[in-house]
Amino acid sequence: MPETPIFEKNNVLVTGGAGFIGSFLCERLLKDNKVICVDNFITSSSGNIDHLLKNPDFELIRADINEPLDLESYPELERFKVRFQGIQEIYNLACPTSPKQFDQYRHQTLLANCSGMRHVLDLAVKYKAKFFQASTSVVYGMRPEDGHLFKETEFGHYDHMTPRSCYDEGKKFAETMALTYKEVFGIDARIGRIFRTYGPRNALFDGHMIPDFILDALDSKELTIYGDENFRTSLIYVTDVVDAIVKMMALPQDPGPLNIGSDYDIKLVDVANKIIEMTESGSQVVYKDPLPFMRLLGLPDLSTIKEKTGWIPLVTLEKGLQKSVEYTVANKELLRPSFGQ
């Protein structure tokens, strides 16, 4: 298969493309490419990509990467000429990310990080496509006691025999698979370790605290933090994450794993109170036991990605929260759980 397009635009595959980050990535890639979005809608929403469906350079394939994926068998992809042009880039963001339904999807999560990973990597080998793996900050383990920023050269330390391990250890193994395929088959496989991300289209009512904070504040309900008043985190706005991914993939050579996140530490209660202020709500903050998927994570050292790509986060927390509030206000009556729809 050709490594450069024989038609006017690259063919790009985004798995998990109807998800929170994936939908923004599809939107961005459509500026210069033809985009094939694959999703099984376990924790994604068709509403995230409805605005893209009329674009002739976009096609949605409802499929599960845990099963082999033969792109050339889909008649709706005939206009992409996959059999002749192939696929030039693959972005793998397919993995369940549901705090409240984490236990329900543990098996699918495990498979996405092994058999699903194999299937998308096999596509990269078949088409000699450049490959991006959306990894995560959890590969580093819990927040270090001394609070230092995680460098890409650090090894993660956590118990691999816990209910979370299908995600934590799975994501780490997925990195190993990407590296092994790179060394054995010679594909260009790149890894971005994405830290806690927020913004419009993040699933509601599912334990993702920022979107739930906003909706509860608008409804004058209590804002629930799954932890205590000392729960701290960093927050990176979704379009900044997409910018980092695009810049990373545009590099002429693989830079190695790169952290994608914010190194600004903030108490979650301060974020909740800021949202209450922005929405002029009378809500109060309450605390509940942590969910298995939510825990105190460390912050990234961003020196390497800044050096390699010139990327820096551009959207301030206040501006990002305001965009998130505006989106929720505009879509409040439509934003209801739609998993599996």
Burial of 104 (0-12, 13-18, 19+ CB in 10 A): middle
**CB 227 within 8 Å of CB 285:** no
Contact 131, 178 (CB under 8 A): yes
DSSP 8-state secondary structure symbol assigned to residue 339: T
Q: Which tokens is 269 given? A: 């209660």
Q: How far apart are CA 331 and CA 329, in angstroms?
A: 6
Question: SS3 for 185-240, per residue?
Answer: HCCCEEEEEECCEECCCCCCCCCCHHHHHHHHHHCCCCEEEECCCCCEECCEEHHH
Query: Which residues are designated catalytic?
Result: 167
Determine the residue type at 228.
D
Structural contact between residues 280 and 217, judged by C-beta atoms closer than 8 angstroms: no
Please list the residues that pair with 190 across neighbouring strands: 132
DSSP code string of 104-130 = GGHHHHHHHTTHHHHHHHHHHHHHT-E
